[in-house]
A and B are shown apart, each in its own frame.
Chain A
Amino acid sequence: MAKEAYDVNQMPKKNPLSLQIDLRKFEKATDEEKVQAEVMSESTSFFRDGMRKLRKNPLAMFSIIVLILIILMIIIVPIVVPYSYSDIITVNGKRDKSATNMAPFTYSRMEQQYIDEGGKVFPHIMGTDELGRDYFVRVAYGTRISLLVGVFASIIVLIIGVLYGSIAGYFGGKVDLIMMRFVDVIYSLPDLLMIILLSVVLNEVLKFNGNGILARLGTNMISLFIVFGLLYWVGMARLVRGQILTIKQNEYVLAARVSGAKSPRIIRRHILPNCIGVIIISAALQIPSAIFTESFLSFISLGVKAPMPSLGSLASAARSGITTYTYKLVFPALMIGLITLAFNLLGDGLRDAFDPKLRR
C-alpha cells in the first residue's frame, strides 16, 4: 500500500462551511502506537474461563465444600469410630444388649458403669438403632453406599448415552431415525416396574456367594445398576444427539472435512470437546437422581441387602418408630437432602459456567 498517500500536507483543505471533520487535524499513528492497539487481554482457555465463573458462584462453591466434607466423612468416620456397622456394641468384650434405641450422646447402663470404673467409651454421636448398633457409623456407611450407587449409575449412563447419542447424531439420516425410535420405545417402559421385575428375576439367576463387594451389595443393587444401564441412558443419548446435531452444522466441522479429516477425528477433536460441558453437567445432575432412586427402592425394601445400610433403608427402618425416635429418620433424611441439594446446585453452577449458549 502506498503510505505516502496519507501525507497530512496533501490532504484536501477543509471547506469552512463543511460539516466534515478537518483531516489535517489527524496525525499518522507511529509504529509504536499501532502495536499498542494490538495488545490483547490475558489468554484464557475455555476451561479456565469456566472455572473462574464457577468460583464466583457462591452456591456452587458452597455445594463443593459440602460434598468434600461428606466425602471426607464417609472415608474418615469408619476408621476413627471404633464400632462396626453390622455388630452390636460391645463393652469391655461383652455384648451390650441394653444399648438399643439410645438418643444421641447418651450411654447405656453397662457403658456408664465402665466409664465410672475408669474405662473409655466412644460417644454415640447419633445414638444407636433398635439392635444396638452405632447409628453414626451406619449413616456414614449408608452415605457411602448411596454415593457409590449415584456415581456408578451416572458413569454407566454417561458411557452408554454418549456412545449411542453421538453415533445417532453424527451419522444422522436413517441411522438416526432407527436408533431414536428404539430410544422412544425404551423411554416408554415403566422404570420402577422394570426394576422390581428384574430384581426378582436376577435374584434367581445371580447367586453371589462369599464376601465380595457384589455379594455384600446384594442382587437388588446389581439389578439397579443393570436397570440404569438398560433404561436411564436414553435421556443422556437424546441430549448428546441434540448437541451433536447442532455442532455438526458449524462451519469448523466442514472446514475439518475439507482438510481431509475422517469421522473419528472430527468426533474426537471437534464435536466432543464442544459438547463435553453439557455432558458433564447432565452427568452431575444424574447423580442425585440415581441416589434418589436408590433411596426410594431401599425404602420399599428392594435396595441393599441387610446388614449393609443405605440411606434409604435406614430411613425405611426408622419409619416404624417415627414418633418416639425421630432422630433416626432425621439423620439419613438430612444426608439424602444435603447430597441431592449439593449435586443439583453444583450442576446448575456448572451449567452457568460452562454452557456455551450462556457465553458471549
Chain B
Amino acid sequence: MDMNYKPNPENLVEVNDLKMYFPVKTGMFSRTPLKAVDGVSFAIRPGETLGLVGESGCGKTTVGRALIRLYKPTDGDVFFDGKRVDDKSISSLRKDMQMVFQDPYSSLNPRMTVEDIIGEPLDVHQLYKNKADRREQILNLMELVGLNAEHATRYAHEFSGGQRQRIGIARALATNPRFIVCDEAVSALDVSIQAQVINMFEDLQHKLGVAYLFIAHDLLVVHHISSRIAVMYLGKMVETADADELNANPVHPYTTSLLSAVPYPDPKIAKTSRRIILEGDVPSPLHMPSGCPFRTRCKLATDHCAQEMPALTDRGNGHMVACWNK
C-alpha cells in the first residue's frame, strides 16, 4: 500500500496498483500465491463507463470484487471520491458503490419476494421513514427498471432471466449509488434481452448519472456502452483507450486478436476482416511466464519480452499500451 499516493480529485474511482493473490495449496504444507490480479491501475470519472474485457479467468471479476471490497486486496489502493477504501471506511461507502451480478438465477434469494429483495439495501441503511414510504420507493425502482408493480409480491423463480436481471439492477439502484460494478451483467442473457438491458443501463446513466465498471467478454457490447475500454490478460492490464480509438487502432497484439474474433453482423465487413487465431492455451496463473505474460502466445515476441514486463505507456491521446513493440 502506498500511503503517500494522492488520488486525482476529478476521478470518482481510482485504482492504483491493485494486487489480489489467493493462496493455493500445492503440497501438504506449501502454498503458492495465485496472482489473480497483479498490479492493475485505472480510474473512472463520475457518470462515465469503463469497459473491462478479457477472456475467462483473466481476473476481471476479481478486480470488480476487490474494488468493492468483497475481497480484501493483497496490495494496492482503491479510492472512492478521494477517500481511501479500507475496512473502516467501507461501511459508509457501501451506499455509494453497488454491484450487478452475472447470474440472474443465483443472485436472487429464492425465499424472498421481489419487494424484499429490492428493499434489502433500504432496510440495511434505514432509508425510509415508514412502511408506506418503503413500498413507494420500491415501486418507483421497479418502474425505473421496467417491472410491473403487481410483480412486487412474487418470488424470483417466477421470472424470466431478463426480468430477474432487472430485479438485480433495481436492487443495485435502491441506495441511489454513484458507482455500479456490472460483473458480466448481460453475459447470461440472450441477445435480444441483452440489448434491452444494455439500453436500460444507458438510460439509467443519463437519468441518474451513475458511473459503471462494465465487466464483460463481449467486445461489441462493451464498445457500445463504454466511453473507455481496458483490456486485461492474466491479471495484468495490457491496453486502455477510448472505446472508439481502441476499436479503430488496437495496438497490443492481444487486443488485435480479440477484436478480430468479434463477429460482425454486416456480412460485407465480415468478409474483409481476417481472424487472428491465437495459438496455445492461456498459461496457468500459478506458473506465470517471465516478463510479459502474453509472450507465450504472441507472434511478435522477442527475447526482451521474456526478460521484463512492459509498463503501460501513453501512445498519445491517453491510449495506454503495455508492449515492447513500438
Interface pair B148/A252, CB less than 8 Å apart: no
Whole-angstrom CA separation of A41 from B121 in the bound complex:
28
Residues on A with C-beta less than 8 A from B168 are 255
Residues on B with C-beta less than 8 A from A190 are none
Residues on A with C-beta less than 8 A from B175 are 259
A256 and B120 contact, Cβ closer than 8 Å, known pairs A270-B109, A274-B110, A356-B110: yes
Residues on A with C-beta less than 8 A from B102 are 251
A250 and B158 contact, Cβ closer than 8 Å, known pairs A260-B95, A260-B121, A273-B111: no
Interface pair A260/B94, CB less than 8 Å apart: yes
A257 and B70 contact, Cβ closer than 8 Å, known pairs A43-B154, A250-B106, A251-B106: yes
Interface pair A38/B110, CB less than 8 Å apart: no
Contact of B158 among A41, A254, A257, A265 (CB under 8 A): A41
Contact of B199 among A1, A43, A45, A258 (CB under 8 A): A1
Contact of B171 among A45, A259, A356 (CB under 8 A): A259
Which B residues between 83 and 135 are near A, CB-CB below 8 angstroms?
91, 94-95, 97-99, 101-103, 106-112, 120-121, 124-125
**Is the C-beta of B68 less than 8 angstroms from some C-beta in chain A?**
yes
Interface pair B103/A43, CB less than 8 Å apart: no
Interface pair B107/A255, CB less than 8 Å apart: yes
A254 and B70 contact, Cβ closer than 8 Å, known pairs A43-B153, A46-B155, A265-B124: yes
Interface pair A259/B94, CB less than 8 Å apart: yes
Whole-angstrom CA separation of A261 from B90 in the bound complex:
12
Q: Report how many residues on chain A are interfacial, defined by Cβ distance under 8 Å.
A: 25
- Mark interface residues in A256-277 (1 if CB within 8 Å of B CB, else 0): 1111110001000110011000
**Most chain A beta-carbon neighbours within 10 Å: one of B91, B153, B158:** B158
In the assembled complex, the CB of A188 is this many whole angstroms from the nearest CB of chain B, namely 23
**Is the C-beta of A40 less than 8 angstroms from some C-beta in chain B?**
yes
Interface pair B107/A252, CB less than 8 Å apart: yes
Residues on A with C-beta less than 8 A from B148 are 38
Residues on A with C-beta less than 8 A from B95 are 260
Whole-angstrom CA separation of A256 from B125 in the bound complex:
12
**Is the C-beta of A18 less than 8 angstroms from some C-beta in chain B?**
no
Interface pair B120/A259, CB less than 8 Å apart: yes
Whole-angstrom CA separation of A273 from B112 in the bound complex:
9
Whole-angstrom CA separation of A274 from B154 in the bound complex:
17
**Is the C-beta of A44 less than 8 angstroms from some C-beta in chain B?**
yes
Which B residues between 58 and 101 are near A, CB-CB below 8 angstroms?
65, 68, 70, 91, 94-95, 97-99, 101
Nearest residue in B to A43 (C-beta to C-beta)?
A: B154
In the assembled complex, the CB of B155 is this many whole angstroms from the nearest CB of chain A, namely 6
Interface pair B110/A46, CB less than 8 Å apart: yes
Nearest residue in B to A251 (C-beta to C-beta)?
A: B107
In the assembled complex, the CB of B89 is this many whole angstroms from the nearest CB of chain A, namely 13
- B interface residue numbers (CB < 8 A to A): 65, 68, 70, 91, 94-95, 97-99, 101-103, 106-112, 120-121, 124-125, 148, 153-155, 158, 168, 171, 174-175, 199
Given contacts A43-B154, A251-B107, A259-B98, 16 further A-B contacts (CB under 8 A): A41-B158, A46-B155, A250-B107, A250-B109, A251-B106, A252-B106, A252-B108, A254-B107, A258-B70, A258-B97, A259-B94, A259-B174, A260-B94, A260-B121, A260-B124, A274-B109
User: What are 17 A-to-B residue pairs whose CB atoms are below 8 Å?
Assistant: A38-B148, A41-B158, A43-B153, A44-B158, A250-B107, A252-B106, A252-B109, A254-B65, A254-B101, A256-B120, A258-B98, A259-B124, A260-B94, A260-B95, A260-B124, A273-B111, A273-B112
In the A-B complex, the 8 residue pairs with the closest CB atoms: A260-B94, A251-B107, A259-B121, A273-B111, A252-B109, A251-B101, A258-B99, A251-B106
